[in-house]
Amino acid sequence: MKNSKYILAGLSVFCILLIGVTSFSSSFLAPLRVGVGYALVPLQSGVNAVGASIYNYIRDFSSLKAAQEENEVLTARVSQLTEENTRLQAEVYELARLRELFGLDQEYMQYEKVAARIIARDSGNWFQVFRINKGSADGIMVDMNVMADGGLVGIVIDVGANYATVRTIIDDDSNVSGMSLRSGDTCNVSGDLTLYEQGRIGLDHIKKDADIQDGDKIVTSNISDVFLPGILIGYASELSTDANNVTKSGYIIPAARFDNLQEVLVITQLKNRRDGHAENSD
């Protein structure tokens, strides 16, 4: 309490002195104001500069934070749109494949079919042997013909309750009895994985005088044991007479593509219904 009294008294004296100073004429105080100006103006300028810097920093920081938040929102939106675009592109591709499959179904309306999706395949570059997601529960049986991409793909060689295995016409163990759609002359289409590296497989057992020419459509023949007649296999290419001077041979460019198969049609009609597995040749 005693100290408080001293402090109060000191402040009172200071106030009285200030009152007394201010009561003097302005001319007397002019030098004092000038001196105070020299001392305070730079200080005030510095304080203002620091204050402005702090204000600008806070403003810029707030703008940066807002920009970062906006960038995060935009980045998330771009990711969402990219995902949607990818999904839409996949749906467009799938729709195109299904339309192609539908067109194939319409082309061979004489045969009943079941659509199936490929779920596994043997290792290698090509779909030579693969598995589909339909089996005996869906009416699939051994020796049923399989189509895709506008033509013959292969034949069912093994069936489970909910799956089936297909051997394609490019497999080394595949042989298909074919004929020229134009002339009706017969031939044999033999699978050859090495040849398929060049996009073709073997065409042989053609009689020398048979009227099969380059570019002819080769379809499954009427004399095949397991393949239904009239299914497009591919197109004859580079025919020449063999060394025995009795037969001709060449190549066939398959109508179906065997690098990216995804869906197939299984013809549920058997040419010759029988027990057991499909043979390597027909």
For strands 145-148 and 129-132, give the pairing.
unpaired
Rounded mean pLDDT, 253-281:
75
* N-terminal to C-terminal alpha carbon distance within the chain: 122
Residues 187 and 261 in one domain: yes
CATH number of 239's domain: 2.40.10.340
DSSP secondary structure code for residue 279 in this structure: P
Closest CA to 281 of 152, 204, 189: 189
**Of residues 25 and 227, more confidently modeled:** 227
Q: Write the pLDDT tens digit of every residue in 167-179.
A: 999 999 999 999 9
Residues 12 and 118 in one domain: no
User: Which of 47, 79, 107 marks a domain boundary?
Assistant: 107
Give the model's confidence band at 201: pLDDT under 50 very low, under 70 low, under 90 confident, else very high. Answer: very high
pLDDT of 87 reads 59
Rounded mean pLDDT, 107-123:
86
Q: How many domains does the chain have?
A: 2
278 within domain boundaries: no
User: Which of 107, 141, 175 marks a domain boundary?
Assistant: 107
Whether the CB-CB separation of 162 and 137 falls below 8 Å is answered with yes
Closest CA to 251 of 213, 201, 209, 215: 201
C-alpha dist (Å) from residue 82 to 76, 88, 100: 10, 10, 27
Residues 162 and 208 in one domain: yes
Residues 55 and 168 in one domain: no
Q: Which residues have CB under 8 Å from 142's CB, separation 6+?
A: 156, 157, 158, 159, 276, 277, 278
C-alpha dist (Å) from residue 209 to 115, 224, 240, 264, 281: 40, 21, 11, 37, 24
- Tell me how crowded residue 214 is: count the other CB atoms within 10 A of its CB: 11
Q: Where are the beta strands (DSSP E) in 226-277?
A: 232-241, 247-254, 263-267
**In the chain, count of helices (H) and strands (E)?**
3, 12
Residues 244 and 191 in one domain: yes
pLDDT of 35 reads 58
Residues 138 and 262 in one domain: yes
Residues 149 and 210 in one domain: yes
281 within domain boundaries: no
Residues 152 and 45 in one domain: no
272 within domain boundaries: no
| Tokens at 206, concatenated | 């053609």
Tell me: pLDDT of 28 over 70: no
Residue 169 has φ and ψ, to the nearest 5°, of -75, -10
**Domain ranges, residue 71:** 1-107
C-alpha dist (Å) from residue 18 to 23, 26, 115: 9, 14, 104
pTM: 0.63
Least confident of 114-123, 170-179, 203-212: 114-123
User: Which of 77, 107, 137 marks a domain boundary?
Assistant: 107
276 within domain boundaries: no
Residues 238 and 150 in one domain: yes
Query: Residue 144, SS3?
Result: coil
Paired with 104 in beta bridges are none
Whether the CB-CB separation of 263 and 98 falls below 8 Å is answered with yes
Residues in the chain: 282
53 within domain boundaries: yes
280 within domain boundaries: no
Residues 76 and 117 in one domain: no
Residues 167 and 47 in one domain: no
pLDDT of 2 reads 56
pLDDT of 75 reads 78
Q: Is 71 exposed, middle or buried (0-12, 13-18, 19+ CB in 10 A)?
A: exposed
Residues 145 and 232 in one domain: yes
